[in-house]
C-alpha cells in the first residue's frame, strides 16, 4: 500500500483537474449565452464547442490519470506522464486562435 499522503495528493490533483474542467464548461456555456452582441454566431458556436469539448476531455482524462497514478503507486512503478496537459494546452491555444481571429478579422 502506498503512503496515504500520496493517495490523497493524487486525489487532490484529480479534483484540481475537475475544477478546471468545470471552469471550461462554465466558460463554454457563458460564451454561448452571453456573447451574442460581441461575436458572430459561427464564432460563438466554434468557441463554445471548443471549450465544452475540452472540458469533457479534461474530465475524462482526469479520471483516467487518477486511476493510472493510483495503480502505479500501488505497484511501485514510475508515475505515468500527464497526457492531459498537452490536450489542455492545445485546446486553450485553439480557443485563443478563434478569439484572435474574431477580434482581428472584420465582421462581414
Per-residue pLDDT tens for 97-108?
A: 999 998 888 765
Domain-wise residue ranges, the chain? 4-104
pLDDT digits (tens, 9 = 90+) for 31-76: 999 998 888 899 999 999 999 999 999 999 999 999 999 999 999 9
Position 108 scores a pLDDT of: 59
6 within 8 A of 40, measured Cβ to Cβ: no
The pLDDT assigned to 105 comes to 83
The CA distance from 87 to 15, in Å, is 17
Q: How far is CA 19 from CA 66, 84, 92, in A?
A: 14, 14, 16
Nearest to 54 by CA among 12, 6, 11, 98: 98
- Rounded Cα distance between 86 and 91, Å, is 8
Residue carrying C-alpha cell 454566431: 41
DSSP, res 3? -
Amino acid at each position: 500500500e502506498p503512503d496515504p499522503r500520496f493517495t490523497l495528493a493524487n486525489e487532490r490533483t484529480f479534483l484540481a483537474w475537475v475544477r478546471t474542467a468545470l471552469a471550461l464548461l462554465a466558460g463554454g456555456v457563458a460564451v454561448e449565452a452571453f456573447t451574442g452582441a460581441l461575436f458572430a454566431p459561427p464564432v460563438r458556436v466554434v468557441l463554445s464547442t471548443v471549450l465544452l469539448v475540452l472540458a469533457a476531455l479534461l474530465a475524462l482524462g482526469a479520471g483516467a490519470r487518477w486511476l493510472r497514478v493510483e495503480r502505479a503507486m500501488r505497484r511501485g512503478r514510475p508515475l505515468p506522464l500527464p497526457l492531459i496537459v498537452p490536450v489542455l494546452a492545445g485546446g486553450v491555444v485553439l480557443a485563443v486562435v478563434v478569439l484572435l481571429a474574431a477580434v482581428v478579422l472584420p465582421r462581414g
